[in-house]
Amino acid sequence: MSKTGIGAPVRRLEDHRFITGAGNYTDDVNIAGQAYAAFARSEHAHASVRKVDASKAMKVAGVVAVFTGADLEKDAIGPLPAGWMIHSKDGSPMNAPGHPCLVQGKARYVGDPIAVVIGETQAAARAGAEALEIDYDVHEAVTDMMKTASSPIQLHDGAPKNTCYEWELGDKAATAAAFKQAKHVTKLQIINNRLVPNAMEPRSAVGDYDSGTGVSTVYTTSQNPHVARLVMSAFLNVAPEHKLRVIAPDVGGGFGSKIYVYPEEVVCTWAAKKVGRAVKWTAERTESFITDAHGRDHVTTAELATDERGKILALRVHTTANLGAYPSLFATCVPTYLYATLLSGQYDIPAIYAEVDAVYTNTVPVDAYRGAGRPEATFVVERLVEVCARELGIDPATFRKRNFVKKFPHQTPVIMMYDAGDYAASLNKACDIIDYKGFGKRKREAARRGKLRGIGFSTYIEACGIAPSAAVGSLGAGVGLWESAEVRVNPTGNVEILTGSHSHGQGHETTFAQLVSERLGIGIDQVSIVHGDTDKVQFGMGTYGSRSGAVGMTAISKALDKVEAKAKKIASHLLEAAEADIEFKDGAFSVSGTDKKVTFPEVALNAYVAHKFPSSEIEPGLKEGAFHDPANFTFPAGCHICEIEIDPETGVSEVVNWVAVDDFGIVINPMIVEGQVHGGIAQGVGQALLERAVYDDSGQLVTASYMDYCMPRADNLPSFKVDTTVTPCPSNPLGIKGCGEAGAIAAPPAVINAITDALGHENISMPATPQAVWQAVRKGMAKAAE
Amino acid sequence: MKMTGEYELPAARQAVWEALNDADVLKDCIPGCELFERDGENGFKATAVAKIGPVKAKFNGSVQLSDLDPPNGYRISGEGQGGVAGFAKGGADVRLADAEGGGTRLTYDVDAQIGGKIAQLGQRLVNGAAKKMADQFFENFRKKLSPDEA
């Protein structure tokens, strides 16, 4: 392994600029003469807007303009669309009303933008927004996803029963038959709590319009600027695609919430043209709480059927998924194809049947959030398996191993074809590292200190490397999910990689450079990664679903193949040898069997000087591009084990021990991978113990600040023991599976399995706050006393 | 938000009833009240400054009296706009009865709703703040009805 190649724990190249304040985020972008936008948002969860009176607002000093939904309508600026078609089980297409960028008719959640005020300063814009007089006709709101389908309150004319779709996957009859044969059935009611994404950098947009060229430019906090440009041009009519430039500079965390196109960047881009100057908006933290797409929010009934030996026969699931007030861009695929397709977990389950009802409520739209469907699936499967093992009196590790998929490829009953893995290997390694055999001793020792100690497993699987285009197209996706790359070799031999992936914390500038370093034998300091600008990179699908390694780097690798092939041709002329005799190794081309060689930078220079080869045979220059469409999803999997100590007097749960053994296939940079695992576990522990977005009955989000929404902090977490096992991914040449979401997927069931193990009973929901745990302890004591 | 309470007042039921219908008395007793004037037969225009947790705002709104049952009670309801802070609306059923040791027992039953920033930032603090405002109101009201202390 070279010091900077594949597998090297290289320090992140981008961190110097981030930690010295030299990053360039959207809010750092300032354009001469820029104005500021402030959005007047609905303070009611469900209300018709009868009138917006801007007369007082226009008199506020520094207010430049006020626009409402009617102004957008006049310019035919379309509503935000749903990007993934789901059909209900009766064959009918989903009900997916568009989301106007400024309210037209009804506001459907607290935070729905009604009007925008453009001001000379941020203060003037905000003062103007406050001076707007909005006349509401307030309607009753519905926030409870279990009541909305039968509620007399209707959110959308085009969505009867407030329902987007009633979808199914799997074989209903075969599953029912298997349940009839079952010796044991484990049944659980599971709530997957609603989360607020809380990226450190709030969303922001700066729109600008060049009247000379007719080009609109928007700087925006996006995980996928090309998709944003496509949606804004093809669906929203903001500007034609060739007259719209979308730039996503440094982005400070996304976790999914920055995949989607939001009203604010559309309005800023459009308004810049209207007022003839750049328009900037940056969310306040409260705005982030009430406008960033939330995550999760499922209510599920799940049943697992087993035979007398504890062999799983079938799984049956009914899930209600809250989509919020509108279908956000990819929201409809999250509780369906990103969820139910993973319900087989790591297990060989002969029959699975899942029903998913997706419903609208007067709450912020819900969409993909770190893991997106797979955490919800993993939570269902891993809770069921743990409880089932306990009910049958089988050790939970043994029960899992008995049911693991052992032969690959493995076709599950829910679409996915697992290509490679060794689930027992990660489980065994995790058990060794945590000293599973010694747990009883640790539990007794904790009891002497008055603590209840529990252990919980999570053997998760997820689908990453999203995704084979034809496959997702057949399932309803509105786009293909390939990736593009371009390798530009400069005459001096350094290299620019243009990628359609987008880094917002993943460290692409380092890992992508490591791939180039490995392949071309040049230092990582000789490589620049260019991303996030639609004027530089031709097209790309962006970063989510842990796809940048498996899909994005494979595209780079393919372009590097072409660069290498051409460079070899040029080298053969420089070395006056047959191309077949040229070998490329450690950054130099040599004639095999001789000491004649030429370095990669020398070849690069000659490619551009073009003196030493016939241009009729070889074009000058050294620049190649590639598109890569993956052949399959990738299937990262692993085992997390969590140990918890509960103080029965206070209900406080302390995570005291955590082992993660993940199989991410080939790892490019183990330090970055470990960082991704740490961050994911922290978010998963946050979901399990601390975080929950709560609406009151009238539709007010009552957890809209850090006073009431509890994020995990360093002191909520132990030092993690992170390790890996490796089965290379067969569907891409680099063998990469992806690691970005694994921690957030694996962690919640590990925590809840540990807590329920400690408490000795199962009935606890996330977040397992001290209050909930304390009550569970008291209930347990009452039960014991009976 | 729901809240109930009970106060003993050192005055006869009729006197309490009259005070409850006196705009000047109400203005003096409502904490933070800057304006409280008659607007129609049973209505009032009102302005009051309220602070809930980190949010302080001036609420402009209207107050209505209904279900008038002199001298036994009424329903007082209202709604106010606090600008960027959001809105508050709600009402209280107020009942008067003779107290055992003389004077009047006032009971109230409040339901209220808040929205916007005040709900997002202050929901957890609303019950406490409302209770405190109610206590303050009735303390002021009691003093009004006790000429010695006025």
B85 reaches A (C-beta below 8 A) = no
* Shared-domain flag, residues A729 and A609: no
CATH code matching the domain that covers B2-145, chosen among 3.30.530.20, 3.20.20.10, 1.10.3720.10, 2.60.40.10: 3.30.530.20
Please list, residue by residue across A263-273, b when 16 or more beta carbons sit within 10 angstroms of its beta carbon and e when fewer do: bbbbbbbbbbb
Q: What share of chain B has pLDDT > 90, as a percent?
A: 49
Q: Are residues B124 and A286, on separate chains, in Cβ contact within 8 Å?
A: no
Q: What angle do CA B93, B97, B102 make, to 5 degrees?
A: 145
Q: Which of A754, A766, A778 is nearest to A300 (CA)?
A: A766
- Into how many domains does chain A fold? 3
B128 Cβ under 8 Å from any chain A Cβ: no
Secondary structure class of A510 (helix, strand, coil): helix
Q: What are the strands, taking DSSP E only, across A632-726?
A: 637-646, 653-663, 721-724
The alpha-carbon gap from B34 to the nearest alpha carbon of chain A, in Å, equals 21
Residues A180-237 pLDDT 10s: 999 999 999 999 999 999 999 999 999 999 999 999 999 999 999 999 999 999 999 9
The residue among A604, A628, A652 that closes a domain is A628
Whether B115 sits inside 8 A of A708 (CB atoms) is: no
Q: What pTM did the predictor assign? A: 0.94
Per-residue pLDDT at B117: 85
Within an 8 Å CB–CB cutoff, is residue B84 touching chain A? yes
- pLDDT above 70 as % of chain B: 97
Q: Does residue B150 belong to the interface with chain A, where contact is any CB pair within 8 Å?
A: no
Question: Between chains, do B120 and A704 touch, taking CB under 8 Å as contact?
Answer: yes
Cβ partners under 8 Å of residue A509, min gap 6:
A12, A13, A14, A503, A529
Please tell me which residue of chain A has the smallest CA distance to B84. A130
CB atoms closer than 10 angstroms to residue A632: 20
Instruction: Answer yes or no: is A614 within a domain.
Output: yes
**Residue of B1, B2, B120 to mutate for A, most A C-beta atoms under 10 A:** B120
Which residues on chain A are in Cβ contact (under 8 Å) with B82? none
Task: Encode pLDDT of A736-755 as tens digits.
Answer: 999 999 999 999 999 999 99
- Say yes or no to pLDDT of A446 above 60: yes
Residue A343 lies in domain? 298-467+632-785
Task: Answer yes or no: do A727 and A698 share one domain.
Answer: yes
Mean pLDDT, rounded, for A610-619: 94
B120 and chain A: CB distance < 8 Å anywhere? yes
| Claim to verify: residue A461 and residue A526 sit in the same structural domain | no
- Whether A603 is in a domain gets the answer yes
Residue A450 carries which side chain, given as an amino acid letter?
A: G
pLDDT at B133: 86
Q: What is the model's pLDDT at position B147?
A: 65
Q: A597 and A714, same structural domain?
A: no
A333 and A431 assigned to the same domain:
yes
Measured distance CA(A114)–CA(A100) in Å, rounded = 9
CB contact under 8 A, A43 and B115: yes
Share of chain A above pLDDT 70, in %: 100
- Count Cα atoms within 13 angstroms, Cβ side, for A417: 9
Q: How far is B87 from chain A (nearest CA, A)?
A: 8
Chain B residues closer than 8 Å to A139 by CB: none
Cβ–Cβ below 8 Å for A44 and B115: yes
Per-residue pLDDT tens over the stretch A317-370? 999 999 999 999 999 999 999 999 999 999 999 999 999 999 999 999 999 999
Nearest to A130 among B84, B115, B120 (CB): B84
A72 located within any domain: yes
Strands (E), A610-688: 623-628, 637-646, 653-663
User: How is the beta sheet containing A295-306 ordered, strand by strand?
Assistant: A163-170, A351-359, A312-322, A295-306, A184-195
Round to whole Å and give the CA distance between A374 and A546.
12
Q: Is residue A194 part of a domain?
A: no
pLDDT at site A64: 98
Tell me, yes or no, whether A639 and A622 share the same domain. no
Residue B54 pLDDT level (bands cut at 50, 70, 90): confident
- Of the pLDDT bands very low, low, confident and very high (cuts 50, 70, 90), residue A22 is very high
E strand spans, A130-203:
133-138, 163-170, 184-195
Per-residue pLDDT, A1: 57
Q: Do B119 and A701 touch (CB under 8 A)?
A: yes
Which residues of A fall within a CB distance of 8 Å from B53? 707
Domain positions in chain B: 2-145
Pair (A227, A360) in one structural domain: no
- From A628, A653, A678, the end of a domain falls on A628
The reply to whether A135 and A262 lie within a common domain is: yes
CB contact under 8 A, A698 and B115: yes
* A89 Cβ contact partners less than 8 Å away, ≥ 6 residues apart: A166, A167, A168, A355
Inter-chain touch B123–A129, beta carbons under 8 Å: no
pLDDT at B132 over 90: no
Task: Establish, for the pair of chains A and B, how many residue pairs have beta carbons separated by less than 8 Å.
Answer: 45
SS3 A536: coil
Strand partners, A163: A359
Alpha carbon of A39 to those of A23, A63, A102, A287: distances in Å? Answer: 27, 13, 9, 10
Percent of chain A surpassing pLDDT 90: 96
- Return the CATH number at A309: 3.30.365.10
Question: Which one-letter amino acid corresponds to residue A17?
Answer: R
Residue A19 inside a domain? The answer is: no
**What pLDDT, in 10s, does the model give residues A650-686?**
999 999 999 999 999 999 999 999 999 999 999 999 9
Q: Which residues of A touch B84 (CB under 8 A)?
A: 126, 129-130
Instruction: Give the mean pLDDT of B107-136.
Output: 85
Residue B150 has pLDDT above 60, yes or no: no
Do A660 and A731 belong together in one domain? yes
Could you tell me if A130 and A231 lie in one domain?
Answer: yes
Say if the Cβ atoms of A705 and B116 lie within 8 Å. no
A658 in Cβ contact with A641 (< 8 Å): yes
Q: Which residues contact A39 (CB under 8 A, 6 or more apart)?
A: A113, A114, A115, A116, A117, A129, A263, A264, A267, A281, A287
The residue in chain B having the minimum alpha-carbon distance to the alpha carbon of residue A45 is B115
**End-to-end alpha carbon distance in chain B:** 32
- Give yes or no for B86 touching A (CB within 8 A): yes
Please judge whether A110 and B53 are an interchain contact, meaning their C-beta atoms are less than 8 angstroms apart.
Answer: no
Cβ-nearest to A43 among B53, B87, B124: B87
Q: Are residues A619 and A766 in the same domain?
A: no
Residues of chain A with C-beta less than 8 angstroms from the C-beta of B86: 43
Mean pLDDT of the region A125-131: 95
| B83 interaction partners in chain A (CB closer than 8 Å) | 130
Q: Is residue A154 part of a domain?
A: no
Do the chains contact at B120 and A705, CB–CB below 8 Å?
A: yes
Nearest CA to CA, how far is A763 from chain B (Å)? 26
Phi, psi of A556 (to 5 degrees): -60, -45
Residue A528 domain flag? yes
Does ipTM come in above 0.90?
A: no
> What pLDDT, in 10s, does the model give residues A399-420?
999 999 999 999 999 999 999 9
Q: How far apart are the first and last CA of chain A?
A: 64
DSSP state of A87: B
Closest-approach residue (CA) in chain B for A705? B121
At residue B126, the 3 state secondary structure works out as: helix
Flag whether A591 is in a domain: yes
CA distances from A6 to A32, A39, A400, A524 (A): 44, 47, 33, 11
A437 and A554 inside one domain: no
